[in-house]
Amino acid sequence: MSIELIIRDQIVNAIAQCYQQQVDTNLVQLQSTRKEFEGDITLVVFPFVKMSKKSPEQTAAEIGDYLQQNVDEVEKYNVVKGFLNLVISSKYWVSILNSANVNSKYGITESTESSKLVMVEYSSPNTNKPLHLGHIRNNLLGFSLGEILKANGHKVVKTNIVNDRGIHICKSMYAWKMWGNGQTPESSGIKGDHLVGDFYVKFDQEYKKEIAELIAQGQTKEDAEQNAPAMLGARDMLLKWEAKDPETIALWTMMNQWVYDGFDVTYKELGVDFDKIYYESETYLYGKNEVLRGLNEGIFYQKEDSSVWADLTAEGLDHKLLLRSDGTSVYMTQDIGTAKERFQDYPIDKMVYVVGNEQNYHFQVLSILLDKLGFEFGKGLHHFSYGMVELPQGKMKSREGTVVDADDLMAGMIEVSRKTSEELGKLEGYTPEQAAETHKMIALGALKYFILKVDPKKNMLFNPEESIDFNGNTGPFIQYTYARIRSVLRKAADRGIEINHTVSGELPLGSKELQLIKSISQFPVAVKEAGENYSPALIANYVYELVKEFNQFYHEFPIIIEENADVRNLRLVIAETVGQTIKTGMKLLGIDVPERM
């Protein structure tokens, strides 16, 4: 139990004993003691003054007396107006250090048979283009969120819904059929998902030319967009696909496989994975059947052109299209079907969708529609809405070919890592293989940390050069600190210094040593808060603050050359525990840390 929980419970007992009043623990306001005062934890006393019928100072002193007499962890206290500052004993802090040092899973809660099952959906790519920078933020957030929820004792199923059907897929297929000249990944030497993405761009280029020609012939812009041969061809291909035309299905299967092979390479490089992959081509029929059931039951309505709609004006929204006039499905139809299938496949307690904030309306509607269709899980869906990621040069557009491909970005990051490491002489003495592996670890650590340290709700600007700096709030800075700690421990071992992992509780602690142990003690709290708030940023920023604290300590105090053996052992145990905590925290972000750097 954390010291805050111990103190909170004992304050409730103090109020009952001193003032014969029962209070809820929510009334107990604790905060870290301000640096200018002596103490570790401060109680805000004002809520209890009416119960004591005494001044804030008297009330604080009486509660302080009770705690000092009845709680071993409370060494002494002082009162500043209506605030009770509690000094926690060194013995307690040393016990925290000893416990954290020998526990390889410190801060992590293991799941049990009775743990809740959370399904996290992320990635959700389309099979008409490669993964890009926006997908990277999605994948990193989803993967990290899954790891953080596991660390909070939940069972987690990580899923991916592949959007492998629809008009956008048919655009790439149509372009390949018209202008592809039989190209394949093998014949062109182009990675499969990139090749298909090139044809998506090609479609847009030809489509715009056709629109311009039709406008020149006298058609309105709207009519030209509808009547352009490329768009008519793509729509015809979608109808043939839904009718299971053999030639269309064969083309679709071939081009999708090119994309899947490409995705697998990118996912592996990025270090993310999935427990289950769903495909829209398989789930959309479930959704279509549910929409038709809703139509028959009067939940939805049909227009004269045969399209099916939901009237959401009673919920303060508008009318939502569910089936087009030609009977083809929309994204909402597919998501209804996927949700139904998932809850049939798994005993899900919580469903979390990791999708950008431009889809806030979509998931608001999905929750309402599932509820209208009678699914109990409808209201419990959680949309993990995150902001967009942009580059210094601005927004990206897939159809115009201005996106930054994930593969290209990672390759570029590795090259920046190599150049930076060589300039700083960080990897001297490495074999070429060791250097290449470490360059990649630093590059991906920089990329992941730069993205995950930002509050997920906020839009962000990604700067590759800035992210790979070895100083400041960056992944490489944290990785380098971990490697520094490992170096200290190796040097201690080389000198024959054995670490005693049970530090004596009677050993006095210096202020910096105490502060580091306090920081270590907050790791379980950070993990818990990150899970409750769905925020990997809380872990990233916790680790950064811990690393800053350690680096100050490292520069101000000797460790290996400390002459007092007990103090040296204490500092080695602190360094080792900080290193373990860094490694565990970074793992929750999907980031590896090097033993040497």
Instruction: Give 229-275 pLDDT, tens digit per residue.
Output: 999 999 999 999 989 999 999 999 999 999 999 999 999 999 999 99
Of the candidates 480, 423, 477, which has an alpha carbon nearest to the alpha carbon of residue 450?
A: 477
481 or 283, which is more confident? 481
Other beta carbons less than 10 A from residue 404's beta carbon:
19
pLDDT band at 412; cut points 50, 70, 90: confident
531 or 434, which is more confident? 531
pLDDT of residue 468: 82
pLDDT tens-digit map of 45-99 = 999 999 999 999 999 999 999 999 999 999 999 999 999 999 999 999 999 999 9
CB-based contacts of 112, cutoff 8 Å, min separation 6: 153
CB 45 within 8 A of CB 85: no
Q: Percent of the chain at pLDDT above 90?
A: 84
Give me the amino acid identity at 167: I
Sign of the alpha-carbon torsion through 528, 529, 534, 539: negative
Backbone angles phi, psi at 567, to 5 degrees: -70, -40
What residues form DSSP beta bridges with 87?
A: 76
pLDDT of residue 327: 85
Structure-block tokens of residue 538: 């809380």
Q: Is the pLDDT of residue 401 over 60?
A: no
How far is 99 from 503, CA to CA, in rounded Å?
10
pLDDT of residue 480: 94
Structure-block tokens of residue 577: 């525990």
Strand pairing category for 155-162 and 117-121: parallel
351: enclosing H helix or E strand: strand 350-356
Backbone angles phi, psi at 545, to 5 degrees: -65, -40
Cα dihedral 90, 96, 97, 98 in deg (nearest 10) = 110
Backbone angles phi, psi at 561, to 5 degrees: -90, 5
Mean of pLDDT values over 313-320: 95
CB 130 within 8 A of CB 409: no
Strand pairing category for 350-356 and 117-121: parallel
How far is 171 from 451, CA to CA, in rounded Å?
32
pLDDT of residue 464: 78
What residues form DSSP beta bridges with 70?
A: none
- Write out the residue limits of the CATH 3.30.1360.70 domain(s) in the chain: 3-88
CB 365 within 8 A of CB 320: yes
Q: Is the pLDDT of residue 41 over 80?
A: yes
CB 553 within 8 A of CB 559: no
Sign of the alpha-carbon torsion through 508, 511, 516, 520: positive
Q: Is the pLDDT of residue 212 over 70?
A: yes
Other beta carbons less than 10 A from residue 208's beta carbon:
15
pLDDT tens-digit map of 424-461 = 777 777 888 988 999 999 999 999 999 999 999 999 98
Backbone angles phi, psi at 352, to 5 degrees: -115, 125
**Integer angstrom CA distances of residue 459 from 238, 358, 380, 395, 451:** 35, 11, 26, 11, 10
Structure-block tokens of residue 42: 């401060």
pLDDT band at 288; cut points 50, 70, 90: very high
Determine if the pTM surpasses 0.95: no
pLDDT of residue 148: 98
How far is 211 from 168, CA to CA, in rounded Å?
18
- Write out the residue limits of the CATH 1.10.730.10 domain(s) in the chain: 406-588
DSSP letters for 126-194: BTTS--BHHHHHHHHHHHHHHHHHHHBT-EEEEEEEEB--SHHHHHHHHHHHHH-TT--HHHHT--HHH
Cα-to-chain-centroid distance, residue 79 = 42
pLDDT of residue 330: 87
pLDDT of residue 403: 66
pLDDT of residue 393: 63
Of the candidates 104, 249, 188, which has an alpha carbon nearest to the alpha carbon of residue 584?
A: 104
How far is 74 from 76, CA to CA, in rounded Å?
6
pLDDT band at 398; cut points 50, 70, 90: very low
- The residue assigned the tokens 């990997």 is 536
Mean of pLDDT values over 318-339: 91
Q: At the top level of CATH, which class does the domain 122-390 belong to? A: alpha beta
Question: At the topology level of CATH, where does 3-88 sit?
Answer: Gyrase A; domain 2 (3.30.1360)
Q: Is the pLDDT of residue 497 over 50?
A: yes
In terms of Cβ atoms closer than 10 Å to its own Cβ (0-12, 13-18, 19+), residue 431 is exposed
Q: Is 406-588 CATH 2.60.40.10?
A: no
- Write out the residue limits of the CATH 3.40.50.620 domain(s) in the chain: 122-390
pLDDT tens-digit map of 182-203 = 999 999 999 999 999 999 999 9
Of the candidates 512, 518, 521, 509, which has an alpha carbon nearest to the alpha carbon of residue 555?
A: 512
State the Cα angle at 503 between 499 and 509, rounded to 5°.
115
Q: Percent of the chain at pLDDT above 70?
A: 98
